Amino acid sequence: MSALVRSGLAALVAAAVVVAGAAPAGASSPAPAARHTWHRIRPMPPLTFPCPQGFEARITPVRFDVWETSSTLRNGDVATLDKGLDHVRVTNKSTAASVVENVSGPTLEVQRPNGSFLLVSGGRTMILLAPAQARAVGQPALAGINVIAGRTESTFDSSLTLTSLKYSGQVTDVCALLS
């Protein structure tokens, strides 16, 4: 993820979208595309997120080998593609119960000149939403920590506020698994 997204997610943990991408089996990094340079990115630091069931969960990187490349489009948008391997451990801080989730879905981030941006992810993506944010984007069932196996599309305004979230695919409620 770009520095903008990483800083925005750190600043707005309650609206974080934790995403990365999957490398082919046996590959240590994605093959570079013609005319694009791939850069390894750092994992997000561990973070704590409140689950709707009343406990806090700790999300910690377990395996992380994610790469990104960026291009400036003719309209001034900057498109960044992330892909690689990303597994995280989610732990119920009250009971120490934990699960490891593969959240290695490739992600395309499009930053617009006005500061807003779009995230489109495929594969497995982790979504973190506070109940009020989930209701605000019309997705009340996604309050908490969820992994979506499918496609997600999120938009953020220039102040890094999540303005829409659409998804298709199977949803795993990680908080429910740990309660």
Q: Is residue 168 within 8 Å of 150, Cβ to Cβ? A: yes
C-alpha span between 34 and 47 (Å, rounded):
36
State the amino acid at position 58 in one-letter form: R
pLDDT for the residue 35:
64
Examine the pLDDT at 24 and tell me if it is beyond 70.
no
169 SS3 class: strand
Reference 108, options 69, 63, 53; nearest CA is 69
Which tens digits make up the pLDDT trace of 92-145?
999 999 999 999 999 999 999 999 999 999 999 999 999 999 999 999 999 999
Which tens digits make up the pLDDT trace of 139-172?
999 999 999 999 999 999 999 999 999 999 999 9
CA-based radius of gyration for the chain: 16
Query: What tokens does 113 get?
Result: 């000149």
C-alpha span between 23 and 31 (Å, rounded):
9
Backbone φ and ψ of 41, nearest 5°: -110, 160
What sign does the CA torsion over 23, 27, 28, 33 have? negative
Give, rounded to a whole angstrom, the gap between the first and last alpha carbons of the chain: 30
DSSP readout, 66-98? EEEEEEE-TTS-EEEEEEEEEEEEEEETTT--E
User: Average pLDDT for residues 58-75, to the nearest whole number?
Assistant: 95
Q: Give Cα separations from 65 to 24, 76, 91, 104, 139 (angstroms).
A: 12, 29, 21, 10, 30
